[in-house]
Structure formats: C-alpha cells, structure tokens
A and B are shown apart, each in its own frame.
Chain A
Amino acid sequence: MKVPLGELTVLNLDNEPVPLASLWAKGPAVITFLRHYG
C-alpha cells in the first residue's frame, strides 16, 4: 500500500526537506512536475 502522497518529502532551495502536504495545507495546490530543469 502506498504511503499518502502528502507524506512524501521534497527539497526546498535551501536543501531542507519539506513535506509535500505543506503545499496544500492552506488551499488547493497546482503542482507542475518538470521533466528536467533547463
């Protein structure tokens, strides 16, 4: 069984882990997942 999406973490630009759930904590989040940078 998958962990909930919100429990996954990503890194902010300060290299700090951020739980994905924080992105939609205050309202809907539109997230574009990039192929790659550049």
Chain B
Amino acid sequence: MAEYKQEIESQGASLYAIGNGNVVMARDFVEQFSVEFPVYTDPSRQTYQWLEFKRPLLALDLGVFKRGRRAGKAGFRQGAVAGDVLQQGGEVIVSPGADLLYCRASVGPGDHAPVEELLAVLREQGESAPQ
C-alpha cells in the first residue's frame, strides 16, 4: 500500500495504517519497514470488530499460497508475529462526512483490496464532492 501513497494523496486523501498490537510493536513496525505514513494501533481490536473484520480460527484460504509466493518473490519475508495472529484486516475509505465509502474485509493472509478499486472510489468521491 505504501507504494501507492502518492497516488492516494493525489486524489486528496490521506493514507493510514492501523494494527492491533501494542504501541511498542507499532513503533518497531514503522522503524523496520520505514513506513512513511501515520500508523496507529488498536490493541482492543474494537475498530476491527466494528468493521466486522474476520477473526477465524483457521485463517487460510486457497489463495494464501499464491499470495505468499507472490510476496516472497517481491522480497517480503514473514517475521515474528506482533499482534493478534488470528485477526484479519481490511481496507476502508471514509469521507470527511464520516461516510464509509468503501469497506473490504480480507479473507486471509495477503488478501488486500486492489489499489485500483480504492483509487476509483477516491476519484468518484472527488467528482461528487461539493465545489
């Protein structure tokens, strides 16, 4: 997602990440991966629950192996898990009026919203915003 930060910002939006570990884990994450956008954390996972992001006992789907292989080829390596290992994530887009413009729950590891979907929502939101 970080590589799309500029494109997201060019649509007038801001990019954030929220994790579910403690603050030390979040700081380590930012440092380890040189994250250049704001990162927050929700150890209680209340935001995940509100958005109904999944927390299955078995968080594997058939695509996990393909996504894992793709990530490995891109140089990503799974490190020590910091946070709730069962909690799945997702992506949301929220407007200044607090409208939930987009909400997609991940089905398993490595499952992320296509960036083009996010950008299309932002473009549409920009076109329909009052001038």
Which residues 1-38 of A have a CB within 8 angstroms of B?
2-6, 8, 10-15, 18, 20-21, 23-38
Q: Given A33-B47, A34-B17, A36-B82, is A28 in contact with B89 using a C-beta cutoff of 8 Å?
A: no
Q: Given A13-B30, A13-B39, A23-B14, are A36 and B21 neighbors across the interface (CB < 8 Å)? A: yes
Contacts of A34 in B (CB 8 A): 17-20, 29, 83, 89
Name the A residues within 8 Å of B27 (CB-CB): 13
Tell me whether A30 and B12 are in contact in the complex, defined as CB-CB below 8 angstroms, given that A8-B50, A25-B96, A37-B82 are known contacts.
no
Q: Are B98 and A31 in contact (CB under 8 A)?
A: no
- Is B85 positioned at the interface, with any CB of A under 8 Å from its CB? yes
**Is residue B84 contacting chain A, with contact meaning CB distance below 8 A?**
yes
For the complex, give the distance between the alpha carbons of A18 and B81 in Å: 25
Residues 14 to 43 of chain B near chain A (Cβ within 8 Å): 14-21, 23, 25-30, 32, 38-43
Please tell me if the beta carbons of A20 and B47 are within 8 angstroms of each other in the complex.
yes
Q: How distant is the Cα of A33 from the Cα of B90 in the complex, in angstroms?
A: 5
Shortest A23–chain B CB gap in Å is 6
Q: Decide: A28 near B47, CB < 8 A? Known: A11-B40, A35-B106, A37-B19.
A: no
Name the one of B1, B18, B32 contacting A10, with C-beta atoms under 8 angstroms. B18
